[in-house]
Amino acid sequence: MAQTTMGLHDCMQFAVEHSTQIAAEDERLSENSIDRRDAWLNALSPSVNASASVTASSGRIPDPETNMYTTLKTIQDSYGIKGEITLFNGFEAVNQIKISKISLLSGKESRKAKQEEICLSTIQHYYNYTYYSKMSELAERQLQNAERLLQKARRGYELGSNSQQDVLDKEVFEAQAEFKVADYNAMKNKALMDLKSVMFYPAAESLTVDTVIKTANEVQLTDAEQTAQTAIETNSATVAAKNAMEIKHLEFKTSRWQYAPYIGLEAGWNTYHTVYPDNKGMAAPFNDQFKNNAHKYIGVGLSIPLYNRFNKFSNHSRKKSEYKIASYEFEEKRREIENAVYSAYDDAVSAEKSLNAAQKSAELNKRYLEAAQKKFELGTISYIEFNETYNNYLEAQAQYYNALYSYIIKNAVVDYYRGKSYLEQF
């Protein structure tokens, strides 16, 4: 696999293209297309069957010349073709066409929902990897700084300007910096494997991820009511629930007509040819028999249901209950989506406030660290005091990056409910 640097959009695109779940959804779409084709063919085209058979028989029959019984052996082969088409079956064929159309649309929505689910999971794992990459970079820079301080302290000790305690403090700080680098690198590697997993990326292949984060998009958070209405009408979850309800409604309507008579048209042609093994002269030539024995027929059949142990009544009642259940599930899904939209807005507002606070804290702790480092280099503060300031700085940076990525993801979810896919956003 050619090695390239992949950004967030590339990661999502790769995940969608290689997902076995998406491939399964595509196969289901193919099945739905076949069902739709079959529904049209069943409604508008006849079924046609050809048949051929050979029968050998032996028995005693009266001889018309002597009026005496005689043993006769015959071999008869017959041929036929028959066609049937339904003229009326309670609108079942028409409703089946509608059901197949809705099922195909539901399949497309199901694929879309699965794609968005995979993209969101990829986004979360991408930013998780980016978070540990940033923290690993901070730890690496701090390790380089610790090594520089240690070298400077050792030179000062050799020149007599630093004490042995100063050197010891710098050695302890370097050791702690090495531990943090190793710890963050381990977490970064694990985050990368998790990202590969959700992307369906080969685990043995190397993956280079672009961790440069563009400025987060500012999302207007004043139209929650309009977004909720849009999501209810267009979100895949509500569309799928609505389609399921419509399918159950069509099945319920079809069950109403099951008491109506069935009307069908039938037409066909057949012929046969007979030979007598013991008396071959008795039978006319094949061509003559094939032509003379042929006949055609056409007819209309009517079937009226009278009594079938209340099976049709039970089926009608069952379809009615299924339609009601689907209606309740659709209303429940509408409420879930509406609540999810308002929750997404609340999360986005909270994420923005957290980001502002975390950014302010990170900037202040960075200044504290710069001031403390100068004092530490001069030996005016102890390792313990400097280490506390350094840990506060790392924690503030971690909170900032965590808040930043959370803010980006929460805003992306809001845009998703507005009808903008994750692939379009990044």
Using CA atoms, how far residue 244 sits from 30, 237, 305, in Å, is 19, 11, 29
pLDDT of residue 58: 82
Band of pLDDT at residue 219, cut at 50, 70 and 90: low
Cβ neighbors of 399 (< 8 A, separation 6 or more) are 358, 361, 362
How far from the centroid of its chain's Cα atoms is residue 189's Cα? 27
Q: Is the pLDDT of residue 172 over 60?
A: yes
Structure tokens at 90: 């309670």
Q: Is the pLDDT of residue 2 over 70?
A: no
Question: What is the distance between the alpha carbons of residues 130 and 247, in angstroms, rounded to a whole number?
Answer: 45
Percent of the chain with pLDDT over 70: 94
Cβ neighbors of 394 (< 8 A, separation 6 or more) are 135, 138, 139, 180
Q: Is the pLDDT of residue 44 over 80?
A: no
Half-sphere exposure for 358 (CA within 13 Å, toward CB): 20
pLDDT of residue 11: 92
Q: Which strand (E) or helix (H) includes residue 410?
A: helix 383-417
Three-state DSSP class for residue 215: coil
Question: What is the distance between the alpha carbons of residues 194 and 196, in angstroms, rounded to a whole number?
Answer: 5
Three-state DSSP class for residue 407: helix
Q: Is the pLDDT of residue 216 over 60?
A: no
Three-state DSSP class for residue 267: strand
- pLDDT, average across residues 113-139: 91
Average pLDDT taken over every residue of the chain: 85
User: Could you tell me if 241 and 330 are in contact, meaning their C-beta atoms sit under 8 angstroms apart?
Assistant: yes
pLDDT of residue 269: 92
Percent of the chain with pLDDT over 90: 20
Band of pLDDT at residue 196, cut at 50, 70 and 90: very high
- pLDDT, average across residues 176-183: 89
First to last CA, the chain: 24
Q: Is the pLDDT of residue 1 over 50?
A: no
Domain boundaries defined on the chain = 5-49+91-261+311-421
The CATH code of the domain at 5-49+91-261+311-421 is 1.20.1600.10
**pLDDT tens per residue, range 288-335:** 888 888 999 898 888 777 766 667 777 788 888 988 999 998 999 899
Cβ neighbors of 221 (< 8 A, separation 6 or more) are 345, 348, 349, 352, 414
Q: How many CB atoms lie within 10 A of CB 59?
A: 9
Cβ neighbors of 358 (< 8 A, separation 6 or more) are 396, 399, 400, 402, 403, 404
